[in-house]
Chains A and B, each alone.
Chain A
């Protein structure tokens, strides 16, 4: 089989990720569950340790040396994220626990303050549960109506249907940039433009997009954009929410507590300025600090080089997997990131996952927290292999061989 031409030194990249030398069930680990979470390079691990070893302190209020150092590192991460997604101002970047937290923040603040009975919220068939349930909760509370953009059999949004749905009743559109189950890249710029024409606000769930695609929130003109750092080589438990300043200013706060206030009396409290208004309590300082190193790492490799290499891995894997008799790829959109979801005739995805795990190969099986999408395809779940920059064609060959073994054992 042919290998992929790339300017990246994949072997050197692999050696930046200590976990890739793990042995699982007696075999070298093949990690193809990157859409769930990516592994972390040594630079990120060192940054985490470095923070705790040298400058662990609570931020923003301390005047001692450690507090100042921690605060500077924390705010440097905010500016790095601002730059990464090209936000206008660093105050437009709110730290969250992750993508889910960001969506809940918008639903519970913007949604509760500005949406009312009869208003329509549009999502799509391929949303993760985290971009369905927060809106259902809001609809239940406020009497809003949830509408869902349908998809075709390839796993692409039906844009005509979306346009037909839009009206002066549409007040909010919340769609996923890249589908975690199918890999489909949605035409978000067009979605945003159309929504704005009827005066609706738009949130983009960028969880699967940020490690693969260039993100420019100003060019997109989205109102909100939310993502998780752990899916882009950063630590778990940290995410970012971008919001346009005028919207963030107008929204009520989310959680109450320290840091988010200006002044507190027993009669009333006044709230802090952006971004602190939305960051109550001591944040996840170490993980925020280390996030910057993840973004620097991605930048050092080059987003374009990563994108091209991952796309080549996707093409290689798609061709190789399609050669397996009875295997059907779910999600065949023209525009995809490096995710391949598939089903095999007569084989339950869980059996596939268990038997691949015995061979040291980590994939994800199940409904991928997109049960309505699985229902649309009439399947209980899929097996999903998702690739990152440290994966290789040799590993894809091992997956294919592993699947032949699975078929033989279950046949």
Chain B
């Protein structure tokens, strides 16, 4: 599945919910189901500090694809993080670097990306792209 196909799939999932409760219950569920990051990767280097919650991001290359694993100490952020990982992980650095993420806005969750300091999510997305650009440079 391409990055955009994965985004469209998420948008479709969220179309089922017309109330904030069900939408957030789904995000909380995603957060609960998301496999925790192995402790060895919860390093100071991998931490993206938000003002309120912590986000950890671990990146590595596998078969020319850039893979992401991540975690957060807050459950809603964890759910949001799982969506970013689902959309971007497992694609080539080129695809990730030039990707345009529109699903958060379409789902009506863009405020979580805007609050840079409070949840580290925007910084995480920036970091994912930075990894992609860095690995792209290594590959070339």
Contact residues of A with B, CB < 8 Å? 25, 348-351, 353-355, 358, 365-367, 380-381, 405, 409-410
Return the chain A residue nearest B23 by Cβ.
A358
CA distance A229 to B51 in the complex (A): 25
Given contacts A25-B20, A353-B52, A366-B51, contact A348 B74 (CB under 8 A): yes
Chain A residues touching B, majority SS: helix
Min CB gap B72→A, angstroms = 9
Report Cα–Cα, A231/B88, bound state, in Å.
44
Docked-complex contact A350 and B52, CB < 8 angstroms:
yes
17 A-B Cβ contacts within 8 A?
A25-B20, A348-B74, A350-B53, A350-B74, A350-B119, A351-B74, A351-B75, A351-B76, A358-B20, A358-B24, A365-B52, A366-B52, A367-B51, A380-B73, A405-B21, A409-B25, A410-B28
On chain A, the residues within 8 Å of B24 by CB distance are 354-355, 358, 409
From residue 16 to 54 of chain B, which have CB atoms closer than 8 A to chain A? 20-21, 24-25, 28, 51-53
What string of 1s and 0s marks CB contacts (under 8 Å) between B63-106 and chain A?
Answer: 00000000001111100000000000000000000000000000
Chain B residues, CB < 8 A from A410: 28, 75
Interface residue? B118 (CB, 8 A): yes
CB pair A348 B20 closer than 8 Å: no
Q: Closest CB-CB distance, A181 to chain B, in whole Å?
A: 14
Question: Within the assembled complex, what's the spacing in Å between the Cα atoms of A351 and B51?
Answer: 13
Kindly state the separation between the CA atoms of A365 and B51 in the bound complex, as whole angstroms.
10
Residues of B within 8 A of A351 (CB): 28, 74-76
Residue in B28, B73, B74, B118 whose beta carbon sits within 8 Å of that of A409 in the complex: B28
Among B25, B76, B77, B118, which residue has its beta carbon within 8 angstroms of that of A366? B118
- The answer on a CB contact under 8 Å between B21 and A350 is no
If A25-B20, A358-B20, A366-B118 touch, whether A348 touches B73 (CB-CB below 8 Å) is: yes
- For chain B residues 93-140, which have a beta carbon within 8 Å of chain A? 112, 118-119
CB distance from A304 to the nearest CB of B (A): 37
Which A residues lie within 8 Å of B119 (CB)? 350
Residue of B nearest to A364 (CB): B52
How far is B28's CA from A351's CA once the two chains are assembled, in angstroms?
A: 9
Q: List residues of chain A with CB within 8 A of the CB of B28.
A: 351, 409-410
A409/B52 contact (C-beta < 8 A), A350-B77, A350-B118, A380-B73 known: no
> Are B77 and A409 closer than 8 Å at their CB atoms?
no
Q: Which of B25, B73, B76 meets A354, CB within 8 Å? A: B76
- B21/A349 in contact, CB under 8 A: no
Contact A409 B21 (CB under 8 A): yes
Give every chain B residue within 8 A of A367 (Cβ-Cβ). Answer: 51
- A349-B52, A350-B118, A351-B76 known; 9 new pairs, CB 8 Å cut-off, are A25-B20, A348-B73, A350-B52, A350-B77, A351-B75, A355-B24, A366-B51, A409-B24, A409-B25
Instruction: Give chain A residues whose Cβ lies under 8 Å from the Cβ of B20.
Output: 25, 358
The 4 A-B pairs of least Cβ separation, nearest first, read: A348-B74, A350-B74, A350-B52, A366-B52
Provide the residues of chain A in CB contact with B52, threshold 8 Å.
349-350, 353, 365-366, 381
CB-based nearest A residue for B75? A351
- By a CB distance below 8 angstroms, the chain A residues around B73 are 348, 380
**A355 neighbours in B (Cβ, 8 Å):** 24, 76
Question: A residues within 8 A CB of B118?
Answer: 350, 366
> Looking across the interface, which residue of chain B has its beta carbon closest to that of A369?
B51
Residue from A348, A355, A405 whose CB has the most chain B CB atoms within 10 Å: A348
Residues of B within 8 A of A348 (CB): 53, 73-75
Complex Cα distance A241/B124, Å?
41
Report how far A79 CA is from B130 CA in the complex, Å: 55
CB distance from A367 to the nearest CB of B (A): 8
**In the assembly, what is the distance between CA of A124 and CA of B51, in Å?**
23
Chain A contacts of B75 at CB under 8 A?
Answer: 348, 351, 410
User: How distant is the Cα of A25 from the Cα of B24 in the complex, in angstroms?
Assistant: 13
A226 and B117 CA atoms in complex are apart in Å by: 28
Docked complex Cα distance between A366 and B118 (Å): 9
- Tell me the bound Cα distance from A358 to B24 in angstroms: 9
CA A365 – CA B77 in complex, angstroms?
14
Bound-state CA distance A358–B75 (Å) is 16
In the assembled complex, the Cα of A328 lies from the Cα of B10 at a distance in Å of 37
Contacts of A409 in B (CB 8 A): 21, 24-25, 28
